[in-house]
Chains A and B, each alone.
Chain A
Amino acid sequence: MAVITYRQALHDTLREEMLRDEDVFLIGEEIGVFEGSYKITAGLLKEFGEKRVRDTPIAEEGFVGAAVGAAMLGLRPVVELMTINFSLIALDQIVNHAAKIYGMFGGQTSVPMVLRTPGGGGQQLGATHSQNIELYYAFVPGLKVVAPSTPADAKALLLASIRDDDPVLFLENLSLYNTKGEVPDVVEPAEIGKAKVTREGTDITVIGYSRMAMVAQQVAEELHAEEGINAEVVDLRSLRPLDRQTIVDSVRKTGCAVVAEDDWLTYGIGAEIAASISDGAFDYLDAPVRRVAAAEVPLPYAKPLERAALPSAESLTTAIHQTLDAVGRRR
């Protein structure tokens, strides 16, 4: 059991999978000579050579399309898109090709590829480089979307994504790269489409993914330490398939829920969760499901404004308090 960063967990997993399977190769901007914009691929060009670690021009549609073709012919490409914002250039390749080929060609060929890409704001990178648009992909049948929040999950889900025969969008988050966590010496691939109850509780269910799952965990610990509130935390880990059962089971136990998401509120991931809860746990609800999300603005560059626009431990705590008040558990 070692304590390592989220970044290290990704790097180690890529390396291990490349050693295990010759068909696994990396492709993307600046991943070779420069060792990756976020240094995930450090040392891999030196170790595996240009055939397996391919630097590309700044042309997302081109290299994602190349990866789709390579996957159709039996390789297992792991694409690095510098940020999820640039994935928009490759939207047609991802949505109209990678996601559809298996179904449109009657299952004759699958597309076993991974699109690794960090999202998220808070780094003062401006509105176009700070988005949380994972919903664009979670919306599309034929794609899988996973969003780990811890180094151990990053490893288990990246293993599963590389070995999966369908295209997987693997969502990372800029603010998670330096976070640390325990990673077992031997990690089994996770089951894609399974959420995880990361903290047991009886008072309220708090649901999050990626960065907000981690924030939810911190908030839950604080609420327990300071107010004796027992929040149950559900880390979605996968946005498609969505593990409705785990969510509903938890809400049936607690009677109320708050969803924490980094994306925008309207039509966001939380809306789907709230609808699923009302569908599967209606008779168990003691209060409406509340959502905490980003302000509906292009994210400001100015630090205080950027901070104010993003969901935070404070705004999540407020929403939890309001919900607990509504069910009479803070009197």
Chain B
Amino acid sequence: MTEIQMPRLSDTMEEGVVSTWRKKVGDQVSRGDVVAEIETDKALMELEAYDDGVLEKILVEEGATVPIGTPIAVLGDGSGAAAESAPTPAPAAQTPAPAEAPAPAEPAEPAPAPAPAAPAERGSKPKASPLAKAVAKEKGVDLSTVQGTGPGGRIIRADIEAAAAAAASAPAAPEPAATPAAPVASEDVEEVPLNKIQKVSAKRLTESKQQAPHFYLTSAIDVTDLLAFRGTLNERLQAAGGPKVSVNDLIVKAVATALRANPSVNVSFAGDKLLRHKRINLGIAVAIEDGLVVPVVKDADRKSVSEIAAESRELAGRAREGKLKLDEMSGGTFSISNLGMFGIEQFSAVINPPEAAILAVGAARDEVQVRDGEFVARKVLRVTLSADHRAVDGAVGAAFLQQLTSLLEDPLRIIA
């Protein structure tokens, strides 16, 4: 009998969701076969079997969350003996029968959203330890506003204390649920549970906006030449049978080049020190059906525009399928968020920690400019740099943006 366990797929992973079983009970499984898809806090990963055998028992149903190391299925020889002696999920093979709570499959309902949510309905009460409930009562913390970090999302005392401390340290913050009597789910209101990615995003973006003092610098860039250059470039590429490049690909390359010239922006704030990144890894924000992911183009400064184009297209495609690998989403040193395709003129993005800056790119629009006393029609694109003032000063950000502008206005230099 062999157990298949919830794998640790990243350093930060504490639990995972069995998203889909690709094999069913009775199926023959060979080493290397994908048996299930596991949703982590960052991605959907395929879980491969390490052994051969027959899938005799599924211990954790689809949609359930369990801690890493928990047995989720049993492989046997097909006789059913393995299923008979299905494990109480004891993590260490050595431990003599430690009494293990037989990790009950968590109901598929998610832990309560961390955001100021409408109070959870009866029947979807957040799971909390008795101690957490008692402390919450004493400190006046609403359990439905707390994200549990215990097993299976259980709210534990530490979560209540953190919530109480956060509330105490932010006395000026308005009551988040000050919306007049937030409605509970009813026939007029549908409750939409957050998936893991959305939960993590909510947490990380809140931390970013609360902890990193953002400042914003906007530049209007004349991209008339850039668009013409892209047209020419794409004609040549097509003639050679290659794929086209987008404006964004050119911007990614230009940002990488500008960062190489302004390394003080390619940093992270780390408490009492700054981390200066030697590599330039650019995160490209991609909207997916239910959330936002940021795949990373590694060493963008050393890649050609065509390489960047091919890689971004591939990453964005897999992002939408939820098939990004963890290492494709980590290690970013700077991010780019482009809403130009929606006709957005300009916007300010939230920094993606632990990065120190993010560039928000708007749409290229026809504008009238004054040149040598004449009105001329030009294509203008506005970019806004959001920077973490703990790590980047205004002048440093401005120098970077100036460099980026001059590159984009003189596009041959991008590929120089």
CB distance from B156 to the nearest CB of A (A): 5
As a 0/1 sequence over residues 292 to 311 of chain A, the CB contacts with chain B under 8 angstroms (1 = contact) are 11111000000000001111
Which segment of B125-133, B172-180, B389-397 sits at the interface? B125-133
For residue A58, CB closer than 8 A to chain B, the reply is no
A282 touches B95 (CB 8 A): no
A285 touches B92 (CB 8 A): no
CB distance from A101 to the nearest CB of B (A): 37
CB distance from B117 to the nearest CB of A (A): 22
B95 touches A327 (CB 8 A): no
Which segment of B55-63, B96-104, B318-326, B372-380 sits at the interface? B96-104
Q: Number of B residues whose C-beta is below 8 Å from A? A: 25
For residue B150, CB closer than 8 A to chain A, the reply is yes
A60 to B146 CA separation, bound complex (whole angstroms): 62
B130 touches A283 (CB 8 A): yes
CB distance from A307 to the nearest CB of B (A): 9
A318 touches B150 (CB 8 A): no
For residue A155, CB closer than 8 A to chain B, the reply is no
For residue A312, CB closer than 8 A to chain B, the reply is yes
B101: which A residues are within 8 A, CB to CB? 288, 290
A295 touches B96 (CB 8 A): yes
CB distance from A6 to the nearest CB of B (A): 24
As a 0/1 sequence over residues 120 to 158 of chain B, the CB contacts with chain A under 8 angstroms (1 = contact) are 000000000111111000000000000001110010111
For residue B39, CB closer than 8 A to chain A, the reply is no
Measured CB to CB, the nearest residue on chain B to A274 is: B99
B157 touches A319 (CB 8 A): no
Measured CB to CB, the nearest residue on chain B to A319 is: B98
For residue B94, CB closer than 8 A to chain A, the reply is yes
Q: Which residues 367-387 in B have Cβ within 8 Å of A in the complex? A: none
A295 to B94 CA separation, bound complex (whole angstroms): 11
Q: Which residues 89-120 in B have Cβ within 8 Å of A in the complex? A: 91-92, 94-101
Q: Given A255-B131, A283-B131, A286-B129, are A318 and B98 also a contact pair (CB < 8 Å)?
A: yes
For residue B159, CB closer than 8 A to chain A, the reply is yes
B67: which A residues are within 8 A, CB to CB? 325
B96 touches A310 (CB 8 A): yes
Q: Given A284-B134, A318-B91, are A327 and B157 also a contact pair (CB < 8 Å)?
A: yes
B157: which A residues are within 8 A, CB to CB? 255, 286, 327-328
A311 to B96 CA separation, bound complex (whole angstroms): 6
Q: Given A283-B131, A287-B150, A326-B151, are A295 and B156 also a contact pair (CB < 8 Å)?
A: no
A284 to B99 CA separation, bound complex (whole angstroms): 21
B149: which A residues are within 8 A, CB to CB? 328
Measured CB to CB, the nearest residue on chain A to B92 is: A318
A266 to B156 CA separation, bound complex (whole angstroms): 28
A218 to B95 CA separation, bound complex (whole angstroms): 17
A46: which B residues are within 8 A, CB to CB? none
Measured CB to CB, the nearest residue on chain A to B132 is: A286
**Band of interface residues on A:** 20 to 34
Q: Given A283-B133, A287-B156, A327-B156, are A322 and B91 also a contact pair (CB < 8 Å)?
A: yes
A283 touches B96 (CB 8 A): no
A310: which B residues are within 8 A, CB to CB? 96
CB distance from B95 to the nearest CB of A (A): 4
CB distance from B150 to the nearest CB of A (A): 6
A319 to B97 CA separation, bound complex (whole angstroms): 11
Measured CB to CB, the nearest residue on chain B to A315 is: B95
Measured CB to CB, the nearest residue on chain B to A290 is: B99
Residue with the greatest number of chain A CB neighbours at <10 A, chosen from B98, B151, B157, B159: B98
Q: Given A315-B92, A318-B91, are A283 and B134 also a contact pair (CB < 8 Å)?
A: yes
Q: Given A255-B157, A315-B92, A329-B158, are A295 and B129 also a contact pair (CB < 8 Å)?
A: no
As a 0/1 sequence over residues 220 to 247 of chain B, the CB contacts with chain A under 8 angstroms (1 = contact) are 0000000000000000000000000000
Q: Which residues 304-320 in B have Cβ within 8 Å of A in the complex? A: none
B98 touches A328 (CB 8 A): no
- CB-contact partner of A328 in B91, B100, B130, B159, under 8 A: B159
Measured CB to CB, the nearest residue on chain A to B134 is: A283
- CB-contact partner of B130 in A285, A294, A295, A322, under 8 A: A285
User: Which A positions have Cβ atoms within 8 angstroms of B?
Assistant: 255, 265, 270, 282-288, 290-296, 308-312, 314-315, 318-319, 322, 325-329
What 9 A-B pairs have minimum CB-CB distances, sorted nearest first? A291-B99, A328-B158, A315-B95, A286-B131, A295-B96, A283-B134, A286-B129, A295-B97, A286-B157
Pairs A–B under 8 Å by Cβ, sample size 20: A265-B97, A265-B99, A283-B134, A284-B131, A285-B130, A286-B132, A286-B150, A287-B156, A290-B99, A290-B100, A291-B98, A295-B97, A309-B96, A315-B96, A318-B98, A319-B98, A322-B98, A327-B150, A328-B150, A328-B159
